[in-house]
Each structure stands twice: as structure tokens, then as C-alpha cells.
Chains A and B, each alone.
Chain A
Amino acid sequence: MRGFSPAEISRSISQSRRNFLRSVTGAGAAATLFGPSMLSGFVAPRNRKAVVVTFGGGARDDETFMPDGQENIPHLLNELIPHATFYTNVVNKGILGHYVATASIVTGVYETFNNFAAVSPNNPTVFEYFRKDLKRPATDAWVVAPSNGFARIGESGHKAYGPGVGAGVILPKRLLSAALSSQADDARYQHLLRDNYETPLYAPTLAGNQIELGQMAEVLKLSVDDFAAHARSLASPDELSVYIAKQLMRQLAPSLLWVTLHDIDIAHSGAFSLYIDGIKRSDRLCAELWTAIQQNPEYANKTTMFILPDFGRDSDIDSGGNGFQHHRTGDTLSRTTWMMVLGPDVKQNVVVDRPIESIDLVPTLGRYFGFEARYSGGKPIAEIA
């Protein structure tokens, strides 16, 4: 791709995804199905729900939507995409670190804080807009996040919002570590806290609205023993996160549930096969969540599910990086990703090539639920909102 502009490369990536999807699913173009008139007279129903799944650790097209990657995402391709509107060109123009990037998606503003700092986002989160504007209770918005670094993702430091109006945050691995350490020696489970693959050593001091072990039984109706026993049957932290998410859906049925998967980011270790394993697991877990939505009466037929990587990974051709291993170059491939949207109000088997940004999600959720993401720099996505 030497000599091409970033915009050309971005279009090329988008076109590749489109061509591939058309070949395997027969997906059509959204332009013929949607128009501005679709939005007129729109009223947000009160009982809508949304589940957002982000991949912390983007997966490249090479390992997903390109021919060699198809074998890694059978569930996305065969079960989800035929029922989805698929955005082929989602650009992240912010900092490519997982916590700060997820915070940017959550606020709809490109946050600029240190990725490795234990800080709240500077701008109001989607959870604060949702709860404060719509007067929703604390039990109606939850985040399930992979690492301690995400402890403050639920609410911002913004003076108009902030503490008390955000989402509850569950850090499953921290809970598990606490649960197991109460039964045995602490050191044995240290690896559970070592969960940030961007730097091998990161365990920030926790502060935020995350629930602790003692609250778990009350919130999730799950005893410590049952939780620990079930965890012993799971293969990865992401499986634990999805288990917790499904438990939340059963017990509290929150209207806004945000799940961040992280297994893919083991790519930072440089082991390609483990990165592929992470992609396959995320593919399966996304389908599991969608099935859980369809099977839960609280969610079925009134829930929109959004699936998007927080950003991509470096390309093989950029000499400044080391291919799939990192996302440090800021090249076009590492900034360009995709989003899949499924739900009763979403057109099925449709591909949208128009570029959107990852910060467009929050204003889209605002239009969907009926709140205004007034500090967000993004725009509502017309086909969904």
C-alpha cells in the first residue's frame, strides 16, 4: 500500500470488508434502504435495552474478514452478520490504548489522559447521560470490564455528572481473585490481577464504583462459593466476564449493559496462535451473548446489541510496528475497524461503507434511548438512531 493516502487505505479496508460480506452473506447497501425521512417522527420507546460489546484488543481484517481469517469468526459470519447492519469503516482518531480508547467510546469524546493512569474519564459517560437524563436507577446501567484499570470507567470526573450517577462496574477477575484468596493463599492467584497486556505489569490502585466481593451475593444473587466453583470451569477471563454479564441480565436486567472483552490482547505477547485463540473465543462469546438476549424475556425483541473493537492493530507492512503484536504506530489499519449492530429496529444483512467514528456510538445511544449526549463530539448514526 506504499504511496496511498490514509483515506485511500481506509477506503480500501472498508471495500475489502464489503466485498467479503457480500460474497458470504449477500449483504446489501444501506443507501437504498435508509434516508433522512426514516428519522422523522421517531420516538424512543421507554423499554428499550442496549448491550454493547467492545473488544479491548482489536482484531485485524487479516485474521477475521480476509480469506485466511474467515475460519476464526464462524459465529460472527454465519449467525450474527446475516441479522446485522454492518459498518465497514469505523475510525478511531484518538489515543490507541485500551482504557483511554474505551473511555473515549464511552464518553463520545476523544479522551487524552494517560492510558495507564487510574483516572475517571474527563467527560460524562453514556451511563451518566442515561441515568441522570432519564432518571434511571443505579441498577439499570452496568459495566463488566476485564482489568482493574477499568475500575473508573463507569462515571466521569465531570462536575455536572460524576459520582453517584454512573454505572456500576464489575471487574470479574478481581472478584475471582478475592473469592479464591479468601479460601487459600493470596500469591497463588496473583496472575488473575495481571490482566493488562499492553504493559506486562500494571495493577493500579482501585478507586471507582466497582462492586466488591461482599456485594456480589446481593447484586448477582450468587454466592462466593458458587462463583468460584463456576470460574474453575472456564477457560479464560472473557468467559468469566460473559458469565457475569449473563448473571446480571438474569438478576437485574439492566437496560444498558456494557461488556469489554480482552482476551485478544494477548497478542502483545507476540504469540500469534494465542491471538487467534482470543479471536475465536470472542467470536463464540458474542454469539453466546446474542443467544442469551434472545432467550431472556426481559431482553428478547427489545434489545439492540452493538459489537465493535475499540481499534485495530498495526499492519504487517508498517516497519514501525511488529504486525499484529501491537497497536503503536497509529497507522490507518490500527485506527480503522468495524461495528456490527443487531436488534429488532435494525435492518438485517446490510453493509454501510460510509465512514463513521467510534465516538459516534454515544450520541447514537442517546438518540436510541432518548437522552442528549451534549458533550460528545460524535454524531448519531442515522441507520440506527
Chain B
Amino acid sequence: MLPSQLTPASFSAYPPEAKALAESQLELLRRLPLAFLPLLLRELIVYDWKFPAERAELDRQFRYLSSNPGLPGFSQLKLSRELEQDDWVNSPAVFSEQLSAHLWATRQIDAFRAAATDYIRRATASAPDAALPAHRLGVAIIGQGVERNEYRLFRKLRPNGVYYSQVKHQNGVQTILDAAAARAKEHPAPYAHWYIDGASTSSTPPSLTAVSYAALAASRATLQARMQKTYEASVFDPEAFRTMLAQLRPEEVGLGMSSDAVLDRFKLSLLTEGSGTQVFATTFVQWAARETLRRAQPITLVARFTPRQREKQMNELLAERQRKPELDPAGSLIDADMGAYYTWLNQQRLSGDDKSAFLVWFEDHSDAIAISPALARGIRLDTPIELADLVAKVA
């Protein structure tokens, strides 16, 4: 099927809001090149479960495309007949995987990459970002459970902010959550204020959207069981495996019972699209923070890294009949230090980056780094400071 052959009936299997949007944009969709359109449909088909920021972004792209449907960078890519015959309307994610393989194999991936980069740049520049109600604030809490540390923390972030070595931190986590809740109260908006935790989020202020690795234990176990079953099949097909993951519904892994279908879908995507998120708490928190920033574009994000399970060495695995769950706080601190850096990078990719602030605190320790346009860069302060005062500097 080619884009020009699309009809309203083509979208009959789409969820209601996605279907309505597709039908309203049908004339435009017919004019888009095949190397591009399924990628757009991949976003559109899940429109019903998109965050407000994502919907705004998709709307902006439609407005841009209405006056720029040619997309020469994509039109010039040579696709195979097999790709044309795919059911790219109803399975755009599968098509994307196959398109990616085709582009790598035919050495067109660089051209595609250039076209995609150019498209995003132009579409983003075509309309200004909405004004933010407040500057963005990101907070990473790292190192839970670590007693002594010899790793040089904040090594990537130090050039960008102030390293505080004498932070007084009584009730530190609660202090940070209270500050986040205060921002949520002052600037209420759907999915604008988030708390991601490797542990439980049972005491999270209700004004924050919460995601917890620990709370997803049952879903992770169900998913891992399905993955293991696939692994043990006589013939394993990685493409079919990816398709299976892409088509999972929240209720199949024990999600979908809440009143927030958007958040349930998001949680599922963290487990099915992230690599390592099913088994490592540190990876989950980093990936969840990345995806939250990329998709929901919050103005407040608190990410608390907790210890992941220890990766056992081969000789240990061979010696033990059953794996006993152990934690690796020291290794997790290193993971989280890098995760905090990536979270800052991802925050800086959003609008308002010139006003954004970021704080990393080594949980239950006196080390923190703060980054803000109001603070100096690359300096160390050894004078005592209350964590609440430090939070106030960036919040």
C-alpha cells in the first residue's frame, strides 16, 4: 500500500481520538513519503494515550507538514517492495523496525538520520514553544545504602555547577519532595510534576505523578516470564519478539486497573521499550526519567535511584543452585551518578534550558551539586548549608 491509497477506512482499527485525528488529516497523510509516514503514524496511533506535551508536539508537526509535505530528505530514500507491502498503517512500530534494518543494510541510515534531524529542527522552529509557568527543576537523589564511597562523584556535572561538600540533610528526601509538591501546588497542570523512585512511592504527595520500580514488581515478573518463555522456544525470532513486546496491552502484565490509562501505558512502555529496565532499578530510574522528560516534558522531576541487584560473576553463578537476591549499593552509586548526568542532559534538551535548574544529592551524605543560571560553575563550597536552603536556591 502507498500513502496515496489511504482512505478513512484505513484507520478503522485506531483508537477513537487517533482515528479522528487521522481522518481529519487524511489529505495531508496521502501526500507524505512512505519513508516518513509510518513514523508519524507510530506516534499518531497512540494519540489517545499521549501526554499533553506530546499532543502539542504532534499538533505542531501537523501544522508544519501541512505547508511542507514534500520532505525531500525522506522522499529520496529507496525502499523495498516488501516494505511497501507491510501493514504499516496498523503496525507502524513493526514497520519502523524493518525500515531501520533496511536502511542499515542499504547504507541509507546516514541519509535517513540527516533527514530526520533536519525535519525535527524545522518543525520545532516553525512555531514557538509554549511559555513555561516556571523554570524546569530536576532533582536526582543517588547512592541510597552506600556507607563509604571512594568514587569521585558528580565528575561530569561539576564543571556546570557548584559542588557543596557540607550539606546538612536531616529528612532530606522529604525536604525535596515537599519542594516538588510546593511547585506542583503553585503551578498545577497534568503530568507537569513527577516523582520516579526505585523503591516504593507510597508516601508521595498526590500532586506528583509517581512511578516506582518496586511497585511494578508484579508486572516485571509477568513480563520476564513471557520473555523467558520466548527465549526457551525451539526457534527464537527476535523480530517477532519485538512485535510481541510492542503489542502488549497494559492489562496483560497487570497494569490497566487504575483510572489513568495514559500513565499505565507509559509504565508499560518503560518495561517493554527500555533495555535493562526489567531487572536493574538504576537503569529503570534513569530510563524513566529520560522518557518522562522526552515525552511529558515536566517542569518538576525528582528521580531517586535505589540500589540495583548485584550482577554475579560467572563463578558465583556456577557455584550456586539458586540466585539469592543481593544488592550492589556501590556499583549502583556509579550507575546513578551517570544516570543523574544523563537526566540533566535530557532536561537541557527541552525548552527553557537557559533557565533550568538541577540538583543532585548523595542520599544521607553531605555531598550535592547544584546547577542553575543563578549559580557559579565549576566551584566547590565547603561551608555548611542546609539541604532545604540548597533546594530553595534551585526551586
Contacts and interface: CB of A to CB of B under 8 A. Distances in A.
B107 interface: yes
Contacts of A324: 338
A272 B280 contact: no
A95 B287 contact: no
Interface in A175-211: 180, 188-191, 194, 199-205
Contacts of B341: 316
Given A270-B276, A325-B275, A201 B315 contact: no
Interface stretch (A161-169, A235-243, A361-369, A372-380): A235-243
A59 to B, nearest CB: 14
Given A114-B101, A194-B231, A270 B314 contact: no
Contact of A268 (B156, B241, B276): B276
Contacts of A202: 236, 238
B238 A112 contact: no
Interface string B345-370: 11001000000000000000000000
A273 B313 contact: no
A202 B332 CA distance: 27
A240 B318 CA distance: 13
Contacts of A95: 104-105
Contacts of A204: 236
A158 to B, nearest CB: 18
B109 interface: yes
A152 interface: no
Contacts of A237: 314
Contact of A231 (B230, B318, B328, B349): B318
A113 B105 CA distance: 7
B279 interface: yes
Contacts of B318: 180, 189, 231-232
B116 to A, nearest CB: 8
Given A95-B104, A276-B334, A322-B290, A271 B314 contact: no
A49 to B, nearest CB: 29
A22 interface: no
Given A270-B275, A271-B280, A276-B334, A200 B107 contact: no
Interface in B314-344: 314-315, 317-319, 321, 328, 330-332, 334-335, 337-339, 341-342
Contacts of B275: 200, 268-270, 325-326
Interface string B210-246: 0000000000000000010011100110110100000
Interface string B103-114: 011110110010
B313 A236 contact: yes
B311 interface: yes
Given A270-B275, A271-B311, A273-B335, A93 B227 contact: no
A116 B238 contact: yes
Contacts of B319: 232
Nearest to A191: B317
B306 interface: no
Given A68-B155, A116-B238, A201 B105 contact: no
A200 B273 CA distance: 12
B188 to A, nearest CB: 29
Contact of B236 (A201, A234, A266, A268): A201
Nearest to B241: A201
Contact of B314 (A97, A240, A274): A240
A322 B342 contact: yes
A37 interface: no
A96 B339 CA distance: 24
Given A180-B318, A239-B314, A270 B287 contact: yes
B50 interface: no
Residue among A113, A232, A235, A322 having the largest count of chain B Cβ atoms under 10 Å: A322
B267 interface: no
A188 B321 contact: yes
Residue among A96, A194, A202, A325 having the largest count of chain B Cβ atoms under 10 Å: A325
A272 B241 contact: no
B286 interface: yes
Contacts of B372: none
A23 interface: no
Nearest to A95: B104
Nearest to A233: B315
B29 to A, nearest CB: 24
A191 B315 CA distance: 12
A380 to B, nearest CB: 23
A273 B339 CA distance: 11
A231 B106 contact: no
B11 to A, nearest CB: 28
A204 B318 CA distance: 23
A146 interface: no
Contact of A234 (B280, B315, B321): B315
Interface string B274-296: 11110110110011001000000
B308 interface: yes
**6 closest A-B pairs by CB:** A270-B283, A269-B276, A273-B334, A270-B276, A273-B331, A272-B338
Given A200-B231, A271-B283, A274-B331, 13 more contacts: A95-B105, A188-B321, A190-B232, A199-B241, A201-B227, A205-B235, A232-B315, A232-B318, A270-B274, A270-B275, A271-B276, A316-B341, A323-B345
Interface of A: 68, 93-97, 110, 112-114, 116, 180, 188-191, 194, 199-205, 231-237, 239-240, 266, 268-274, 276, 316-317, 319-320, 322-326, 329-331
14 contacts: A68-B156, A112-B104, A112-B105, A116-B239, A191-B317, A199-B238, A201-B231, A234-B314, A234-B315, A240-B314, A270-B286, A273-B335, A322-B287, A323-B338
